[in-house]
């Protein structure tokens, strides 16, 4: 850069007033700015490997309603600055968190805008690499906009794999983490993940979106498309955002849901009542049941260790029998219910472990302090040893029960 270019860039940079910093991490800073008191813009500073003047120069010529317009690009001595149009609206993440799962027609309408924006990028050789619910803005008219190209890259036919490993876990394709070079199919993986998120209002777990999709009233054709678009092998996915959108429309028409009511609201979930995310409240009848069970639980905690261990063993066996009977009795529903069962077993195992580790050692400690039961008459030297031994036994027994439940899940083919 010559001295004149540097001076021009510094003057231009200083003309913008920073209203607030939106985000900041190593090599990337995003600000909300104004120019001469007019309008709002987003300014991004890129340093090091994230500075890609060729990419932003290409974006200057992209005219797509679903993408923020690039206003100007200028280089400072130590970083690249990009000023973009500010898109006013609510993030898709915020929308789904507030409203819950979206209806299929509404999700398809939003996907149309997101896929159109991604396709426009791909046609200019640009891979977004971070298509997530946080990076989709829904404006007041219900239109979707794809924002935040902070880690986007130009495709290079010479590169064997990406040199910078970035992305959002659960939404980023496997090749983004060093397995191969990213291309349009990497964004297809992310687009399918966003679709699944809209329909389930959940973030992907170890088994992706399968458990949540098993709960939601999503047509099987759409579930199958999401699974294929999130394949580990890029060649098994739809090969472009446009192809993904075309297949999605075909699935919706084939399932007979294309003409259904397009009102806003969560998708229906058959035979399952879903509470909003974060709602841990108990229904009145559930509270009543726990109050009735409290004396029995307390009596069990006071029982001898042999009785407590026998009860725990019986509980594990009953759980195994009930679960196996459920699988054998409903073969046609196993595909949808295995995800629910897996998460239920995992939750039960951890709850059992936590309850066991907290309640029983506390009971042993109380008995030792009071000098009752097997601690009665022990001298000060023997009492701590006996207490440590009993606590160790309780901790080990709790861990063994949790391990048994996890093995049960694996044996049932759920993990």
Band of residue 293 on the pLDDT scale cut at 50, 70, 90: very low
The CATH number given to whatever domain includes residue 71 is 3.30.200.20
Domain range for residue 18? Answer: 3-85
- The answer as to whether 265 is a domain residue is no
- The answer as to whether 275 is a domain residue is no
Model pLDDT, residue 66? 94
Residue 196: left if φ>0, alpha if ψ -120 to 50, beta else—which one? alpha
- The answer as to whether 96 is a domain residue is yes
What average pLDDT does the segment 134-142 reach?
95
Tens-digit pLDDT profile for residues 256-273: 666 555 544 444 433 333
Model pLDDT, residue 254? 76
Considering the domain architecture, whether residues 99 and 239 belong to the same structural domain is answered as yes
Asked whether the predicted pLDDT for residue 405 surpasses 50, the reply is yes
pTM over 0.95: no
Rounded to a whole number of angstroms, the distance between the first and last alpha carbons of the chain is 57
- Final residue of a structural domain among 35, 57, 85: 85
Considering the domain architecture, whether residues 163 and 205 belong to the same structural domain is answered as yes
Of 219, 230, 215, the closest CA to residue 333 belongs to 215
Considering the domain architecture, whether residues 351 and 396 belong to the same structural domain is answered as yes
Query: How far is residue 32's CA from residue 228's CA, in Å, rounded to a whole number?
Result: 38
Model pLDDT, residue 18? 95
Asked whether the predicted pLDDT for residue 309 surpasses 60, the reply is no
Asked whether the predicted pLDDT for residue 325 surpasses 60, the reply is no
How far from the centroid of its chain's Cα atoms is residue 345's Cα? 20
- Final residue of a structural domain among 237, 255, 273: 255
- The answer as to whether 315 is a domain residue is yes
Considering the domain architecture, whether residues 98 and 243 belong to the same structural domain is answered as yes
Considering the domain architecture, whether residues 137 and 20 belong to the same structural domain is answered as no
Tokens representing residue 75 in the block: 């280089």
**What is the tally of structural domains in the chain?**
3
Considering the domain architecture, whether residues 235 and 362 belong to the same structural domain is answered as no
Asked whether the predicted pLDDT for residue 346 surpasses 80, the reply is no
Considering the domain architecture, whether residues 207 and 333 belong to the same structural domain is answered as no
The CATH number given to whatever domain includes residue 121 is 1.10.510.10
Considering the domain architecture, whether residues 341 and 226 belong to the same structural domain is answered as no
């Amino acid at each position: 850069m010559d001295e004149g270019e540097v001076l021009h860039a510094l003057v231009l940079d200083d003309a913008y007033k920073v209203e607030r910093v939106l985000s900041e991490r190593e090599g990337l800073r995003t600000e909300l700015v104004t120019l001469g008191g007019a309008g709002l813009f987003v300014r991004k500073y890129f340093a090091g490997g994230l500075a890609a003047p060729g990419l932003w120069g290409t974006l200057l010529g992209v005219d797509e309603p679903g993408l923020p317009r690039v206003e100007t690009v200028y280089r400072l001595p130590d970083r690249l600055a990009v000023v973009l149009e500010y898109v006013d609206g609510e993030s898709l993440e915020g929308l789904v968190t507030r409203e819950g799962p979206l209806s299929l027609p509404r999700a398809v309408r939003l996907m149309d805008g997101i896929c159109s924006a991604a396709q426009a990028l791909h046609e200019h050789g640009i891979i977004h690499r971070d298509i997530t619910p946080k990076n989709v803005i829904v404006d007041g008219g219900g239109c979707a906009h794809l924002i935040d190209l902070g880690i986007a890259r130009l495709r290079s036919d010479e590169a064997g794999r990406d040199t910078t490993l970035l992305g959002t876990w659960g939404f980023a394709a496997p090749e983004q983490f060093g397995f191969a070079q990213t291309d349009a199919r990497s964004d297809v993986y992310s687009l399918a993940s966003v679709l699944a998120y809209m329909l389930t209002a959940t973030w992907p777990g170890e088994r992706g979106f399968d458990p949540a999709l098993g709960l939601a009233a999503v047509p099987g054709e759409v579930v199958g498309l999401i699974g294929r678009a999130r394949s580990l092998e890029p060649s098994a996915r739809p090969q472009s955002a446009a192809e993904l959108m075309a297949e999605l429309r075909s699935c919706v028409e084939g399932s007979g849901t294309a003409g259904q009511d397009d009102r806003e609201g969560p998708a229906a979930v058959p035979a399952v009542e879903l509470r909003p995310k974060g709602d841990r409240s108990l229904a009145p009848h559930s509270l009543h049941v726990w109050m009735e069970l409290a004396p029995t639980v307390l009596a069990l905690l006071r029982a001898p260790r042999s009785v407590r261990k026998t009860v725990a063993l019986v509980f594990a066996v009953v759980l195994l029998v009930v679960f196996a009977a459920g699988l054998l009795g409903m073969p046609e529903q196993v595909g949808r219910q295995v995800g629910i069962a897996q998460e239920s077993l995992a939750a039960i195992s951890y709850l059992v472990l936590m309850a066991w580790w907290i309640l029983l050692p506390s009971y042993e400690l109380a008995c030792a302090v009071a000098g009752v039961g097997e601690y009665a008459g022990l001298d000060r030297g023997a009492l701590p040893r006996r207490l440590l031994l009993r606590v160790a036994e309780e901790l080990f027994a709790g861990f063994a029960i949790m391990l048994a439940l996890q093995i049960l899940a694996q044996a049932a083919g759920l993990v």
